[in-house]
Structure formats: C-alpha cells, structure tokens
C-alpha cells in the first residue's frame, strides 16, 4: 500500500488496484486534469535554422569530429570543417536500408538513407 499506512481516514481519496488515487476526493490524480491541445502552425516543423535530427544539431557542431548522440538514440554524426552535419550513422532502427545505415547531408538536407557496413569487407 502506498504511503506506508499513513492514510487519513477522513479523506475521500482512495487508492485503486494500480496504486494511484482514484480521484474520489479533491487530491489531484496523474493527468486527471489534463486538457487536449493542438499544435500551432509554428510548432509543426522546425525552421531551417533550427533543424536537428535525433537531438544532434545540423549546424554548429565541432568541426571535423564525430559526435555520439547522448539522447539514447543510437547515432553518430560527423561534422565537416565548418561544423555542419556531413554524415549520420544510425544503429538500432531500419528505414529499409538495414541496421546500421548512413545518411549523407548536402547543403543542410539529409538524404533518406544508405546501406553500408561497419566492417571493412
């Protein structure tokens, strides 16, 4: 039981079988008062200046270096000499090219993907 047995006998709140408040009283429940929302036109797609894929920025990276994505996405990105995205290597998912696969960047645009092998043969 949640709360270590410190229940208030005068409370209208009840713990259900999942261990959450059932909303019987005035205490808030997880997402109990959540309201739907709609994306605005500005929320639908990042601008070219803000474009990033899988949490790695497409501009302003460390020049001539590989960076591993720290967000949990299995991805490495190579930045060119100006700090712009040049190549992505993606692992753990497949766009029809297998895993791993690569994406080349050309003037800020990322291609759909390419099959490749990490092995030299």
Give residue-wise pLDDT tens across range 51-84: 445 578 999 999 999 999 888 888 999 999 999 9
20-63 pLDDT, tens digit each: 545 555 555 566 666 666 656 554 444 444 444 557 899 999 99
Q: Is 63 inside a domain boundary? A: yes
CA distance 113 to 104: 7
- Say if residue 61 is in the same domain as residue 9: no
Q: Is 92 inside a domain boundary? A: yes
- Say if residue 51 is in the same domain as residue 103: yes
Q: Give, rounded to a whole angstrom, the gap between the first and last alpha carbons of the chain.
A: 58
Structural domain tally of the chain? Answer: 2
- Which one has a higher pLDDT value, 51 or 117? 117
Q: Is 121 inside a domain boundary? A: no
- Say if residue 60 is in the same domain as residue 26: no
93-116 pLDDT, tens digit each: 888 888 999 999 999 999 999 998
- pLDDT, position 49: 40
Q: Which two tokens stand for residue 69?
A: 């994505």
For range 81-95, the mean pLDDT: 92
- pLDDT, position 53: 52
Out of 16-20, 61-65, 117-121, give the one with best mean pLDDT. Answer: 61-65
Q: Is 74 inside a domain boundary? A: yes
Structural domain containing residue 84: 47-115
- pLDDT, position 58: 93
pLDDT band at 3 (very low <50, low <70, confident <90, very high): very low
Going from the C-alpha of 60 to that of each of 44, 50, 102, the distances in angstroms are 23, 11, 20
- Say if residue 61 is in the same domain as residue 108: yes
- Say if residue 23 is in the same domain as residue 70: no
């Amino acid at each position: 039981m949640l709360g270590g047995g410190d229940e208030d006998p005068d409370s209208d709140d009840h713990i259900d079988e999942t261990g959450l408040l059932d909303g019987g009283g005035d205490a808030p429940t997880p997402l109990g008062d959540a309201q739907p929302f709609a994306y605005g036109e500005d929320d639908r797609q990042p601008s070219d200046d803000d474009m990033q894929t899988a949490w790695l920025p497409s501009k302003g990276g460390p020049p001539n270096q590989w960076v591993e994505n720290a967000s949990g996405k299995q991805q490495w990105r190579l930045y060119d000499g100006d700090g712009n995205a040049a190549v992505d290597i993606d692992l753990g998912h497949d766009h029809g090219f297998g895993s791993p696969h690569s994406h080349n960047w050309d003037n800020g645009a990322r291609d759909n993907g390419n099959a490749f092998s990490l092995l030299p043969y």
